[in-house]
Structure 1
Amino acid sequence: MARSSLILLLLSLVHIGCEARSPIAASSRASNFIKSSCGATKYPALCVQSLAAFAPSIQQSPRQLSQTALSVSLERARSSQAFVSKMKKFRGLKKREYEAIKDCIEEMSEGVDRLSKSVQELKHMGQAKGQDFLWHISNVETWVSAALTDENTCFDGFAGKALDGKIKASIRGRVLNVAQVTSNALSLVNQFASKY
């Protein structure tokens, strides 16, 4: 009886060990890690939605989560910059609309540049520790914060009812999404920084 109980216990432990290493369990842990981390951001649902597809590469790494969030933000900023650039070619634009679009493109360009620097800085900081880590992560936080300001400033040129309409609404929707994703990325970078 004792021998069969011991065998049953060993088989149970082997089964649990195999289950813990299974891809499904790993994927579930990665998804839970993303949801938990996104819970501390300003836009948690958007955070989970934009990062869930990357769970296999993120796993449970705060650094990889930050890297991925920045990359997603950069990609959306580039896409929005291209979208706003196309708007400049619309016929029948009012002079103020054209100027606002032109200013927005410039702000978006600066934001893309800063996000790009942030992605590269985080990617190339290696296993930096101590003061070295703080210097790199401070650069990332500064650039992402500045990119967020650029994205918000982009829309300032459309203030007032005179520019209300489809152009303003289209640009606002794109820029707002980028600003929210960037805000989430900054929050995740700050979480990553606080662990060191």
Structure 2
Amino acid sequence: MDQLNTSSKSSTKTSLLEKENFSSIQRRNKRLIISFFSLIILLALIIGAIITSLIHKHNIKLQFIHPNLAIQQFCSATPSESTCITSLASTITPTSEADPNQIFVNILEISIAEVFNITSMMLGIRSNHTRTESAFQNCSTLLRDSLSQLHGTLGIMHHNPDLLTQTYGQRRDMMVWITTVIEDLRSCLDDLGKVKSTVVDEVSGEIHGLEVYMSYSRDFLHNCDSVIENFGFALQMKNSENSSAVIHESITEPPESEEEPSQIASNSAQSLKTVCAVTRYPESCFSSISSLNPPSTANPLNFFNLSLQATARELSNLTSLPKELISKSNDKRSESALKDCISLFEDSVSQLSRSLELMKVGTGEKVLTDMNNSDLQTWISAAMTDQETCLDGIGEMGSTVPDEFRVKVQKSQEYMSNTLAILNNIQSLFEKFDLTIPEGGLS
């Protein structure tokens, strides 16, 4: 009996131990399961945080690609592209929908505000420095004229903010006005340069900065068709990692050639074709420069100088034509329009003559300083505008001048456009040929 009781107790104890072990295993498994799912949840949270961070960064990248791209494309029309980008990026914060048109408007608005700022500076200085009175009076007059030109340009852009849909006359007017502003600012700087004063130097610095902005605007206006077209193409490629670099290269570099840079530089005909490829009228570019017998070994600067000479020669042949037509015409409207053309042609000849003189540098002098480059762009653009104004005047007067006259004026315009395009791309062309711009003289 005692044995049975002992056996029963032992059995019961074993059963209890088995149950306890089983319960312990269940608890351990439950803890493992809980730990496993906790780990999964933790990993999910970490992965979710990483994905959220990447999405946030991607959204930031997309948010700012447009403003940067708009500024970059705007500045692609300027000779000093990197300087332009740095300058505008520090003063302009465009919206995500901005395009080069908007950057142009931003510059106009900033420039108008800067004119008021400069005027206020001069008023404050004038009261304490009477010897600056004459220079400041002249500058004030010039700044008032500049303000009028800027408001006129901004008015056109506010009425129609898309340059590609504006009329030829609207774009011509804006080019004339901005060119006038540049000339006014330079005249003001010349006057202030005669006054030796630290405070006057401060004003001159502000005016020079405004002149630089106007130069950017002029360059953009001249090349706005290609700039805006390339901006649209860049937007289509915005999700491509290298889209910005591709578009930058397509704008600033001439078409690729099968020849190596050293071969291109030593081949005059191939060099000329490559240079003319950056112009709107490559055929007239090639024929006009070829007619001047370019040297066997040439570089882009030689070709620019030859293009400038060809343009001056073409214009010189054109200047006597209005007088000949007046002598043969009995149409008062034609006579009036042609007399305006005579004056405009004389101004064009003067602008090109100044440009040719500027290219004649002495030994050791740099051929194209930033100032010389800007002067050349201003003078050639002004000469081109004179031709456009002549044709517009003839059209507005209902003149009956021969088609031959219109054709010759348009040919002259093509030459000027080609010359300006070569100048705007001179740095990238030298890089294309694996050459450096010479410090002095033309080789």
Selected match of 1:115 from 352, 363, 374: 352
**8 Å contact 1:41–1:188 — kept in the other structure?**
yes
Q: Give the counterpart letter for 2:384 in structure 1.
A: L
Selected match of 2:338 from 101, 105, 113: 101
Selected match of 1:153 from 389, 398, 422: 389
Distance 1:59 1:83 in 2: 37
Q: Secondary structure at the match of 1:89?
A: helix
Q: Give the counterpart letter for 2:275 in structure 1.
A: S
Provide Cα deviations, 1:138-163, integer angstroms capped at 9, x if missing partner: 11111001111011111111115832
Alignment of 1:62-141 (within 5 A): 62-92=300-330, 94-124=331-361, 128-129=365-366, 133-141=369-377
Q: Give the counterpart letter for 1:73 in structure 2.
A: T
Structure 1 residue 39 displacement after superposition: 0.6
Distance 1:161 1:108, change over 3 A: closer
Structure 1 residue 129 displacement after superposition: 4.4
Distance 1:134 1:160 in 2: 38
Distance 1:140 1:193, change over 3 A: farther
Structure 2 counterpart of 1:44: 282
Q: Secondary structure at the match of 1:32?
A: helix
Structure 1 counterpart of 2:411: 177
Distance 1:125 1:172, change over 3 A: farther
Structure 1 residue 192 displacement after superposition: 2.0
Distance 1:76 1:26, change over 3 A: same
Instruction: Give the RMSD, CA atoms, in angstroms.
Output: 2.6
**8 Å contact 2:265–2:299 — kept in the other structure?**
no
Structure 1 residue 124 displacement after superposition: 2.5
Distance 1:83 1:60 in 2: 34
Structure 2 counterpart of 1:3: none
Structure whose alpha-carbon radius of gyration is higher: 2
**8 Å contact 2:329–2:335 — kept in the other structure?**
no
Q: Give the counterpart letter for 1:108 in structure 2.
A: F
Q: Secondary structure at the match of 1:57?
A: coil
Distance 1:118 1:126 in 2: 18
Q: Give the counterpart letter for 1:124 in structure 2.
A: V
Selected match of 1:189 from 397, 416, 423: 423
Distance 2:362 2:271 in 1: 23
Unmatched segments (≥5 aa) in structure 2: 1-262, 431-436, 438-443
Unmatched segments (≥5 aa) in structure 1: 1-24
TM-score (norm 2): 0.35
Distance 1:125 1:151, change over 3 A: farther
Q: Give the counterpart letter for 1:172 in structure 2.
A: R
Distance 1:142 1:83 in 2: 26
**8 Å contact 1:122–1:137 — kept in the other structure?**
no
Provide Cα deviations, 1:67-96, integer angstroms capped at 9, x if missing partner: 11011101111111112221121142x111
Distance 1:28 1:129 in 2: 23
Q: Give the counterpart letter for 1:47 in structure 2.
A: C
Alignment of 1:9-20 (within 5 A): none
Distance 2:299 2:272 in 1: 10
Provide Cα deviations, 1:35-63, integer angstroms capped at 9, x if missing partner: 11101101001101111233543732211
Which consecutive aligned stretches of 4+ in structure 1 deviate over 6 angstroms post-superposition? 25-28
Provide Cα deviations, 1:139-193, integer angstroms capped at 9, x if missing partner: 1111001111011111111115832x4x241221111000001100111122225
Distance 2:293 2:329 in 1: 43
> How many residues get paired?
168
